[in-house]
Chain A
Amino acid sequence: MLLKKSPMKRRTFLRGTLAGVGAVAVGLPALDAMLDENGKAFGQGPIPDRFGLWFFGNGVKPDRWIPGTEGAGWTPSAELAPLEGVRDWVSVVTGCEIKTATHPHHSGMTGVLTGSRYHQLGTTRDTIVTTFAGPSVDMIAASHFEGSTPFRSLELGITRFRGTDEGTTFQHLSHNGPNNVNPSEYSPNRLFERLFGMPLDSDVDLARRSVLDAVMGQVRGLQGRVGSRDRARLEQHFESVRTLEQRLAAGVSACMEPTNPGDFPDVEGREQIEQQNRAMSDLLVTALACDLTRSFSVLFSPAGSGVVVWPVGARNSLHQICHDEPNPQPTVHAAVVFTMEQLAYFLGRMRDTVEGDGTLLDHSSILITSELADGWNHSNREFPLLIAGRGNGRLRGGVHYRSRSNENTSHAVLTALRGAGLPLESFGTEAGQVTSSIGALEG
């Protein structure tokens, strides 16, 4: 896998152009200001590709997830019914499995997102603590897009983290490598401030960059004096500081400023999941429409999540009822439907955001998956996989592809990556590796 890195482009943003527009409601074709007269080109280039990862924990109920028909125009199953409004953009992949499975939650998480085994920490104990062996799929995309937008990537969390401490595999979604994570932001208020907060004045920004330069020099100096493991950790520190410096160098990217949605504390002991999802989705769609980033991940709920999906009547954590509810597990099923409703809100906003002669969803490729197939038996077969978006014409959308031979989940992941324009020859390693995408889904 060879990816081209380009230096930060100093894109001239829309400060001024949109200043008079003021509080533009998201969903209007605000980006037309960025487009040429024919509405086809974007600034100096074509409309950009975007890649996203949308993850939810504890799997699905496969018997109610798999659509009844195959091929184009699939018939919605009970669990996919909420996606009806965006069905023409969503392809469903069923019948695939993790080929590197040795452990319920850990294997599935790393298997689908890196195409590899997990990396276990500490060899002297058998309680498993793991991390990702390599970058997660969203970071593969972020490397590809690096330099084209102010934010290399964005990571968002929706439901509150209630996981375990069995390593970063359980605690985080986005990984650059082993024990090298991009934590998710759970506060809409902080995300807003990060994306749209007041810029400081340019003199101060220049001074901040000088300080960051000095810090980078210190990191480089220290790197020469430590072992290889710490050198790699410092390399990430360097990269993290460099990313901020480059963003300051690129200047303010005024586009349209949404309203700060604030945060959503519990109401009478109940997590405000829908409100949080709406706020985070709205901010993310605005960020994508403004081309603040081209790679993102949404951690709706982590592997083995303990979220209580109370809107569907759940009284205990999702992980718990996956194990405890008698078949046919109506509450678990309802929780999956609820999760897909939340996804549908996000995809709906993407579809409604006009950009050039299409919509944001037309120009994206979004992988949606979980860490296992079915929570009650921790199965790694019949994995839930969706690919949303038309990838600027690379993806057909609206197709159900069903494998008859327990194919590798990595085929779907490679399809999604190629759908976002990544010129990859393969995805995954060892038993998880594939070199072919799913042609039936490609345009």
Chain B
Amino acid sequence: MRARSLILLLLVACSGNIGDSDGTGRDPRDPPPQEPLVFAPAAATLHRLTRAEYQSTVRDLFPAGTPIPTDLEVDTPLHGFTTVGGSELTISPLAAEQYEAAARQLASHVFSDPARRDAFLGCTIGAPGDACVRTFLARFARRAWRRPLEPAELDALVTLAADLGTRLRDGNRGLELALGAVLQSPHFLFRVELAEPDPDDPTRRRYTSLEMAARLSYFLWGTTPDDALLDAGERGELVTDAGLRRAVDRLTADPRAAQAMGRFFGEHMSLDRLAAVTKDPERYPQLSASMLASMRTELERLFSDHALGDGDVRDLFTTDRAYVDAELASIYGVSAPSGEGLQPTTLPASSERGGLLGRAGFLALWSHATLTSPTTRGRFVRMNLLCEDVPPPPPGVDTTLPHSDGEPKTMRERLEIHRSNEVCAGCHDKMDPIGFAFERFGPLGEWRDTDEGLPIDTTTDLDGTPVADAAELGEVIATDPRVAACLSRRLYRYATGHLEERGEEIVVQALGEGFVDAEHRFRALVAALVTSDGFRYAASDPESACETGARRGCSTACGGGEQRCVGGAWSACDAPAVRMEDCNGRDDDCDGMIDEALTRACEGTCGGGTQTCSAGAWGACEDDEPAIELCNGMDDDCDGTADEGTANHVAITSFTALRTVHAQCDGSTQRRGVNCNSAIHRTCAATSCSNSGFGPVEAGADEAHLACVTGETRVVSFADLSARHGPCNGAPEVMGPNCNAAIHRWCGANGMTTGFGPVELPGDGTAYVTCVPSATTHSITYGALTPHHGSCHSGTRIGPECDAAIHRWCRAMGAVSGFGPLENSGENLAVACVR
């Protein structure tokens, strides 16, 4: 009985003619004819920025060269797209922490250098919360929140910056931290779209002109609107047909559009998953991260060639153009190109690969580690390219494939069970036959003559159209009307950030038809999409719509109030405002805590101290002790000048930033060594308090801590260095323990105590080294370093572990950082600490 009902369920689910009657699904190609399609827009929603959108946005908001945060939550794609996940998911506690840290990291980088900071602000802050702060915040937040701020919003941010500046006795610091209230705001992390009543049609709402600016920008550019688009938004142009077209023309002509459309294509093809592809290392020792990256890049290049120009996007499925480097060339069996990176080439017809679907980026993704998978390859084509659904097997069904008793069988033969068993056949007939066309290509996408030593049969059909091999399948797919319709549907889903609803079907179908009329030019589809009603209008939300003049109760954290309906939308709530916490024994911000987090400046010996509020009263003035002067723009030692004599400090940066200084110090292939030495030296030399540096003294995935110092950078020949310690002769040895010793001795012999390097290698037989006369040297044992980093011992001697261990050892000694080994012998070594 149970088995019988399962069979029925499966047969129904995969019959390909699923109507609305069962409430579970429908065939997207074929809406029931009895119901004429009427446009009904989807409800407006909040769109959380995807990880890529967040990163592109902060890149646009901050000066070039600002390290972009990478410790961010990984997106959860839904219905194939991260943008849909962004409209469904919210901000977890972990994500809130990451956003908080990211905001501080971004702000601290730009504020850490006074010149960079003032260029960014466009003015100089005199007092906390002054006109410079206000002007800057108005401009910055307008771009971050994609709209001009309400006066009260701007006042609140300025007040926050002023308050923090006063507390910290540093107006710049106050603004730096207050940027967190812009960058952690729901107005920033979510694209807020509320829409407004449509003056032409009271049954629906339209996205406001400013909301349209953000919708256009995030879809077409993947980032926040520029000033010109915001200006057009503010002028109301983006709710008019003409204004919208002008904006679309400008945005699609910009190179950022190609990048953003590439992101859509990547999600459409599930390319993000390529990075996690694993194959059996014994069978495919050649598989590497760079090979997987090349697979992805090839497909992106093909998309760019065939979709972003004026060509027919369907050529993607038939093109014989390929992009290969040596690794991909070996998979395709063509000769490796001579140039760097991926180079265009033409695949011979005998390769049987055809277009996109015959490439490694598709074939390797949809395979197992040692086996091909006609099922998953077919499933991808069925679901992502034809937009048809295939449900998974129900519980309790035996899904093991039969194994022969010693007799080899091809994968196709083993999958025969899917067709002969009626429980399986209903769905597998929609997947496996498509996949058979690719059986000449193994788990990595490589050509194979046989499967298990047996000849391979690639003849199959796509829903009745006969197909001989993968190349021919590409031709059939290219001309299948479902493919163009499906691409339109999925682009619409990606652009709007939600699974298309029944009421939008008329728009989706019209887009597909228009795409055909436009000879399958992708740009025409994009332009039609953003000017379509589905992109411009929202459902009239019964909750948010109202009769002008109506009233309703509402509340804030501090109490109840009332909202009035003005112009069809509810006004702000007039309940008691949530005020900034004051030292008065009351819970002003209504968060359940009284007088929390309140301090204020007071007069102390060091120019000022801090008072903390407790139970409605300010505590005693805690003086700041004069502290060691640091390179932070502040007068730490209270002698009236900032940063004087602060030679040495630890600067926190990223490999992303170091890479912009020296391309080879990229954090993946190189994390230390001469190129990183150079990047670090130059980075430290660019700040006002130091002229050289070493490191990384601590490093994370994309984090590098540099020890910036003031020293004497000298040019010295390797002949001179070799005279101090023979092996450091420049050919081949230019760095390492021997050169450490040579540099140390050379600096010492020249009266400058010790030094590090080379910080630059001009390649002319000389090295730049930095001597540090103020450093102190210490003879210690590796045993003293091991507690600071478990992997630094006399077996390691040198390397990132010992760099960190020496740094930490010196810090435990009260120094800023340290380097070494200067000399080493057995368990003993010498290190230098800088203070």
Contacts and interface: CB of A to CB of B under 8 A. Distances in A.
B787 A23 contact: yes
Contacts of B177: 204, 207-208, 211
Given A208-B180, A230-B45, A259-B790, A213 B76 contact: no
Interface stretch (A30-38, A167-175, A354-362): A167-175
A171 B76 contact: yes
B566 interface: no
B401 interface: yes
Given A203-B167, A316-B370, A379 B395 contact: yes
Interface stretch (A49-57, A80-88, A126-134, A399-407): A126-134
Contact of A189 (B180, B189, B598, B700): B700
A225 B368 contact: no
Interface string B79-115: 1100000001111111111001000100000000000
A211 B186 CA distance: 13
Nearest to A127: B389
Number of contact residues on A: which range applies?
Answer: 35 or more
A316 B79 contact: no
Contacts of B394: 102-104, 378
A183 B593 contact: no
A405 to B, nearest CB: 18
Given A214-B156, A220-B557, A226-B46, A181 B76 contact: yes
Contacts of B823: none
Nearest to B541: A227
Interface string A225-251: 111111001101101111111001100
Contact of A240 (B43, B91, B157, B185): B91
Contacts of A203: 167-168, 599, 610
Given A124-B25, A194-B97, A226 B544 contact: yes
B73 interface: yes
A211 B180 contact: yes
B733 interface: no
B584 interface: no
Contact of B278 (A263, A317, A327): A317
Contacts of A220: 556-557, 578
Nearest to A184: B94
B499 A161 contact: no
A182 B93 contact: yes
A216 B94 contact: no
Contacts of B596: 209, 249
Interface stretch (B280-288, B468-476, B480-488): B280-288
Interface string B776-818: 0000000000010110000000000000000000000000000
Contact of A241 (B157, B164, B184, B499): B184
Interface string A204-222: 1011111111111111111
Q: B46, B93, B580: which has the most chain A beta carbons within 10 Å? A: B93
A210 B165 CA distance: 12
B90 A236 contact: yes
Given A123-B24, A208-B180, A214-B181, A172 B76 contact: yes
A71 interface: no
B554 interface: yes
B91 A237 contact: yes
B93 A244 contact: yes
Interface in B172-224: 174, 177-178, 180-181, 184-187, 189, 192, 194
B383 to A, nearest CB: 7
Nearest to A262: B791
A108 B97 CA distance: 31
Given A124-B501, A211-B181, A180 B370 contact: no
A380 interface: yes
B826 to A, nearest CB: 25
B573 interface: yes
A218 B187 contact: yes
B276 interface: yes
A107 interface: yes
B396 interface: yes
B550 interface: no
Interface string B538-572: 00010110000000001011000001000000101
A208 B393 contact: no
A123 B100 contact: no
A162 interface: yes
Nearest to A209: B597
Contacts of A182: 92-94
A224 B552 CA distance: 12
A185 interface: yes
B393 A378 contact: yes
B46 A230 contact: yes
Nearest to B184: A215
A244 B96 contact: yes
Contact of B46 (A214, A234, A241, A245): A234
Given A214-B181, A315-B280, A325 B78 contact: no
A122 interface: yes
B578 A211 contact: no
Contacts of B731: none
B13 interface: yes
Interface string B307-339: 000000000000000000000000000000000
Interface of B: 13, 18, 23-26, 28, 43, 45-46, 71, 73-74, 76-80, 88-97, 100, 104, 156-157, 160, 163-164, 167-168, 174, 177-178, 180-181, 184-187, 189, 192, 194, 270, 276, 278-285, 287, 368-371, 383, 389-401, 403, 499-502, 541, 543-544, 554, 556-557, 563, 570, 572-573, 578, 580-581, 589, 591-593, 596-599, 610, 700-701, 787, 789-790
Interface of A: 7, 22-23, 101-105, 107-108, 121-129, 152, 155, 160-162, 165, 167-168, 171-172, 176, 179-183, 185, 187, 189-190, 193-194, 203-204, 206-222, 224-230, 233-234, 236-237, 239-245, 248-249, 259, 263, 268-271, 306, 308, 310, 315-317, 320, 323-327, 372, 376-380
16 contacts: A102-B395, A180-B92, A203-B167, A213-B581, A213-B597, A216-B589, A216-B591, A221-B556, A224-B572, A225-B570, A227-B43, A269-B284, A317-B278, A320-B369, A376-B399, A377-B397
